[in-house]
Amino acid sequence: MDAKNGRLKLFCGEMDYIRFGRGPRPLVMIPGVGDGLKTVNGMALPFALMYRPLSKDFTVYVFSRRVSLVPGMTTRDMAEDLNAAMEALDLSAAAMVGVSQGSMIAQWLAIDHPERVTKLVLTVTLSRSNPTVRAVVARWQEMARRGDYRGILLDTAERSYSEKRLRQARWMYRLIGSFGKPKSFERFIIQSESCVTHDAYGVLNRIACPTLVIGGTEDQIVTGAASEEMAAEIPGCQLYMYQGLGHGLYEEAPDFLERVADFCRMGEAQ
């Protein structure tokens, strides 16, 4: 399988990325705040296998945040880093698919650099902070400061998945939490803080590309209402809400990748 790990040396620092697929259309994926615990370094093959349905029609790039983040960095700052990474790879424009915090970054890229984004998929995210995300992030940051990696993973899983999925996943997260602990939680704290300071709500009307917002009615991290609120402000936006699913719907919904691929191909010659 065509899967490559890479590291860019940019003016802002180093950034890990992966690339897979051989399709004619470029597609950029931006992962969520878990990137603060582990970048995509060494993850090319697992990502390629997980998102294999995209590899026929797209060449997929997955970008981490820069390796060394600066305290106080915002999602808008991270969008500028992403813009620099795309420029370094001569990636002039691409369909953009964000998950959670990744979608917050994608919002700013589409607002500040509209030429970079041909299609925009905003998944399980928000455009401005709310009490739910503030409470969740505060809990995660408390765990991070005491080095409770396992606690962060389990709390995230409990808030993300349906009970059916949790019955299958709890043992795995307990196992993962027993090893692979990051040397530092600083990146995670910086990234999670940028989620609660994120506020693009007032300028969402500047997003000009075709946009699809995907949310879950049972989202216990950003809320489903945040997806509906955001979609109402983006011109011509499509909204799809998964009934009964939460923040982890992109792993649980069997048609998620097909829905994303169909939207990103929409209006293009086959």
Whether the pLDDT of residue 267 is over 90: the answer is: no
* H-helix or E-strand spanning residue 103: helix 101-112
Indicate the DSSP class of residue 95: E
CATH code (residue 235): 3.40.50.1820
Q: Which residue has the higher pLDDT, 65 or 179?
A: 65
Domain housing 93: 3-265
Q: Strand runs (DSSP E) across 217-260, as ranges?
A: 238-242
Please give the residue that has the higher pLDDT: either 158 or 210.
210
Closest by alpha carbon to 125, among 221, 260, 262? 221
- Residue at 270 is within a domain: no
User: C-alpha angle with apex 104: 102 to 106, nearest 5 degrees?
Assistant: 70
Is the confidence at residue 130, as pLDDT, over 80? yes
Is residue 73 situated within a structural domain? yes
Q: Is 80 exposed, middle or buried (0-12, 13-18, 19+ CB in 10 A)?
A: middle
User: What average pLDDT does the segment 52-69 reach?
Assistant: 95
Q: Using 50, 70 and 90 to split pLDDT, how confident is the model at 2?
A: confident
Is residue 176 scored above 90 in pLDDT? no
The crossing angle, in degrees rounded to 10, of helices 149-160 and 131-145 is 160
CA dist 21 and 23 (Å) reads 6
What is the total count of domains within the chain?
A: 1
Looking at every residue in the chain, the average pLDDT score rounds to: 93
Residue 173 lies in a domain: yes
Q: Are 75 and 101 in contact (CB under 8 A)?
A: yes
pLDDT band at residue 205 under the 50/70/90 scheme: very high
Pair of tokens at residue 64: 């981490």
Q: Which residues, other chains included, contact 228 with Cβ-Cβ below 8 Å and sequence gap of 6+?
A: 215, 239, 241
Tokens standing for residue 190: 């910086």
Question: What is the SS3 assignment for 63?
Answer: strand
Q: Tell me the per-residue pLDDT of 221-243, one tens digit each, with 9 for 90 and over.
A: 999 999 999 999 999 999 999 99
Q: Residue 183 phi/psi, 5° resolution?
A: -65, -30
| Rounded distance between C-alpha atoms, residue 137 and residue 190, angstroms | 11
Mean pLDDT across 96-115: 98
CA–CA separation, 257 and 260 (whole Å): 5
- At residue 166, the pLDDT reads 78
Q: Please give the pLDDT value at position 270.
A: 45
Residues 13-23, mean pLDDT to the nearest whole number: 95
